[in-house]
Structures are given as structure tokens and as C-alpha cells.
Amino acid sequence: MAAKKLCEAYSKSLLDEAHRWGGLKQTGVSLKYMMEFGSRPSERNLLISAQFLHKELPIRIARRAIELENLPYGLSEKPAVLKVRDWYLDSFRDVRAFPDIKDATDERDFTQMIKAVKVRHNNVVPMMALGVQQLKKDMKQKVVTEDLDEIHQFLDRFYMSRIGIRMLIGQHVELHNPNPPPHCVGYIHTRMSPVEVARNAIEDARAICLREYGSAPDINIYGDPSFTFPYVPTHLHLMVFELVKNSLRAVQERFMDSDKVAPPIRIIVADGDEDVTIKVSDEGGGIPRSGLPKIFTYLYSTAKNPLDENSDLGIADNVTMAGYGYGLPISRLYARYFGGDLQIISMEGYGTDAYLHLSRLADSQEPLP
């Protein structure tokens, strides 16, 4: 069925071309390079950047489109996954159809086109989650609870690649901003205060907790607000928001019916020579040791996907405390994208510590799945 649909919608020459481009070598970029290159967004530099993306994006997009056709357990045939594959093939076609970029006018047109590509892919994560849900529904419980390593590894590669594609497009588009905020080079803030970003993420997470439960535990943050380093604030916000949201939910549910006052969540920001580490500590009861390997998989969430079978795609922005179970694995990918990591250590019966490591060195290359 999937193969039939593919041939109807896309010409054989486009599919052959996608296979050819998918076999080419990807080129990684470091945070440092993006920062240095983007600090002078002259017409010439924007042209060089667009020419690089014109060659690089089709390779990255084609790899994912091909992979989406060959997933195990029939995942490729699920309606939601077919839809995602169509988005990737449409984007591949759009970028390949764009003529060589020779001057500033071409570059501006190209920028508008890749902007549209980025918007087309906005709902990829919930849509893939829906595909996995469709798969789980059809499979026997026995198979799902075994480790579906292959699907998990595919999703890690797929989402890591998506972070890279969105970073490259977003960075290029943002370099066109005529009034960039102070110390910002595209998406990168050259003097980002992790304490400030964490404070904003805390506010957002507490607001959701208050909305859902009517109250929220206190959060204390320790660290020097004047300490800064170059990083992407949107990435850090997403990661801290996710960790704090999980802690709030755990503490809130543990102390909801208790006479005791819910203990505060503690956040510590430490600046080392190599890493900036953010530790989020809660007393929400912890996770049993047997459950720890599962927290970074994409297959175990019991939470409801905002894009369930019947919902309208336009309303995928409703953030809930439970999310749809992809927060931790995707946060870890964001951390690893610029050479960091995320670790979770738990004491069952007490609480959980999350360690978010961010590399200060800024010269690690993008991971290229």
C-alpha cells in the first residue's frame, strides 16, 4: 500500500534522485563556526550560507525520507508516518527544484522557500508519535514491552537530524533580522545567562502546573545570574522547561493529598571549565530502578498525544503536564546536539536528580545521523 501510494504521488525520477542524494556525505557545523560566520551577516556571507544550505539540506532531508520508507514492524505504512514522509519528499523536491543561487535576490527567494519548509515540518514530532501509537495499537502488547530498539534508534537519529535541519534553517533565516537583539547571532546568544533562561523556563512550567493542579511547589534556583556563555537560549529553555515540568508533576502528585507542605524543587547552575551543568533536584518520590531505562524511550508514554486520531492539527500547541512522553529523550538529543548530555539519577522513595550538561567549548561538530 505504501509503495503504491508513493509511486502515485511522486515521480520515479524524484525518488531516484532522493536515493542518490541520500547517499552523499553530510557536512557538520559547530556552534563556534555558526557564531563566527554569522557575526558578519554581509550580503556575501548570506550568499555563501544559502549556497551551503542549497547543497546540504537535500542530503539531510533525503536521508530521512529514505529511512521513513524502510521502518520495521510496518511502521512505514502507518498513515501518520506516510504523512511525515510526504512532508520530507515535498521539501526535498522544493529545495532541489530551486535554481543555483547567484545573487542577493536569489538568496532572498531561497530564504523564503526554506522558511516555508521549516513551517511544513512544525508538527513532525507529534505526528511521528501518532504513528508510533498507531503501531502500538496494532501490535500485541508482548512485542511492545520488549525493547523495540530498532524503532527507538531510528527515532533518535530522525529527531537528532531534525534538530540539525531546523537549527541550520532557523540560523540562516534569523541572520536576516534587521534588528537582532543585543549579543545575538541568529539563534545563538553570545552572552547567554543560564540562570536567566532557567528562570523563564521555571515560570512557564509553574504556570502550567498552576493551571492543571491549582497550586505548584516552590522552586529555588542557585547560581550566578551574571555568568554567561554562548549557547542557543531556545534549546536551553526547552530542556529546563521539560525537566522542571517533570519535577513539578512528581512533587505535586506525591504531596497533593498530604498534610505536609510540598518540598521545594532545587535548581543549581554550576560553571566548570568544560561544562555548564544544571541540576534539577526534586523530592517527588523518584523512579524505580527497573523503570529508569524506559524514561528515554519513545514507546512507553501513557499520556495522550495532542494529535490524537480525531483532533485538528491546528491545535497541537496545547502543552500539558504529561506531554506525550517525548520530553526527556528529545531534551537529551538537544543537549547532545552541541556536545552536552542529560543524565537522570533517582532514589526510589525519595526523589530524582537530573543533570543537564552543556558544553562550554562550542567547537564540537554536529552529530550527523
The pLDDT score that the predictor gives to residue 183 is 95
> pTM for the full model?
0.90
Would you say residue 307 lies in a domain? Answer: yes
Same domain, 77 and 122: yes
CA–CA distance, 247 with 209 (Å, rounded to integer): 10
CA 95, distance to chain mean position in Å, is: 22
259: domain CATH number is 3.30.565.10
Would you say residue 165 lies in a domain? Answer: yes
3-state secondary structure the chain: CHHHHHHHHCCHHHHHHHHHHHCCCCCCCEHHHHHHHHCCCCHHHHHHHHHHHHHHHHHHHHHHHHHHHCCHHHHHHCHHHHHHHHHHHHHHHHHHHCCCCCCHHHHHHHHHHHHHHHHHCCCHHHHHHHHHHHHHHHCCHHHHHCCCHHHHHHHHHHHHHHHHHHHHHHHHHHCCCCCCCCCEECCEEEEECHHHHHHHHHHHHHHHHHHHHCCCCCEEEECCCCCCEEECHHHHHHHHHHHHHHHHHHHHHHHCCCCCCCCCEEEEEEECCCEEEEEEEECCCCCCHHHHHHHHCCCCCCCCCCCCCCCCHHHCCCCCCCCCCCHHHHHHHHHHHCCCEEEEEEECCCEEEEEEEEECCCCCECCCC
Same domain, 178 and 198: no
CA–CA distance, 54 with 96 (Å, rounded to integer): 8
> pLDDT class for 321, splitting at 50, 70, 90?
low
Top pLDDT among 263 and 323 is at 263
Would you say residue 367 lies in a domain? Answer: no
Same domain, 297 and 349: yes
Cell of 250: 512528581
The pLDDT score that the predictor gives to residue 345 is 97
Decide if pLDDT at 127 tops 60. Answer: yes
Encode 295-328: b = buried (16+ Cβ within 10 Å), e = exposed. Answer: bbbbbebeeebbbeeeeeeeebeeeebebbbbbb
Residue with cell 523503570: 291
> pLDDT class for 319, splitting at 50, 70, 90?
low
Q: Lowest-confidence range among 85-99, 122-136, 265-279, 293-307?
A: 293-307
Average pLDDT over residues 131-154: 74
Average pLDDT over residues 157-175: 96
Looking only at the bridges linking them, the beta strands covering 351-359 and 188-192 are unpaired
67: domain CATH number is 1.20.140.20
Same domain, 228 and 299: yes
Same domain, 54 and 135: yes
Decide if pLDDT at 307 tops 70. Answer: no
pLDDT, tens only, 1-40: 444 455 457 899 999 999 999 999 999 999 999 999 999 8
The pLDDT score that the predictor gives to residue 315 is 39
Looking only at the bridges linking them, the beta strands covering 341-347 and 351-359 are antiparallel
Percent of the chain predicted with pLDDT > 90: 76
Q: Lowest-confidence range among 3-17, 198-212, 308-322?
A: 308-322
Residue of 187, 189, 132 whose CA lies nearest to 159: 132
Show Cβ contacts of residue 120 under 8 Å, excluding neighbours closer than 6 positions. Answer: 87, 90, 91
Looking only at the bridges linking them, the beta strands covering 229-231 and 275-282 are unpaired
Last residue of one domain, picked from the residues 147, 182, 217 = 182
Would you say residue 6 lies in a domain? Answer: no
Cell of 37: 560566520
Same domain, 201 and 64: no
> pLDDT class for 140, splitting at 50, 70, 90?
low
Top pLDDT among 125 and 314 is at 125
Same domain, 166 and 222: no
Would you say residue 301 lies in a domain? Answer: yes
Same domain, 219 and 278: yes
Would you say residue 284 lies in a domain? Answer: yes
The pLDDT score that the predictor gives to residue 312 is 45
Same domain, 264 and 127: no
Decide if pLDDT at 314 tops 80. Answer: no
CA–CA distance, 168 with 272 (Å, rounded to integer): 28
pLDDT, tens only, 275-296: 999 999 999 999 999 988 888 9
Same domain, 232 and 166: no
Q: Which domain holds residue 48?
A: 12-182
Decide if pLDDT at 226 tops 90. Answer: yes
Structural domain count of the chain? 2
Same domain, 106 and 252: no
Would you say residue 368 lies in a domain? Answer: no
Same domain, 178 and 48: yes
Last residue of one domain, picked from the residues 135, 163, 182 = 182
Last residue of one domain, picked from the residues 182, 212, 240 = 182
Would you say residue 188 lies in a domain? Answer: no
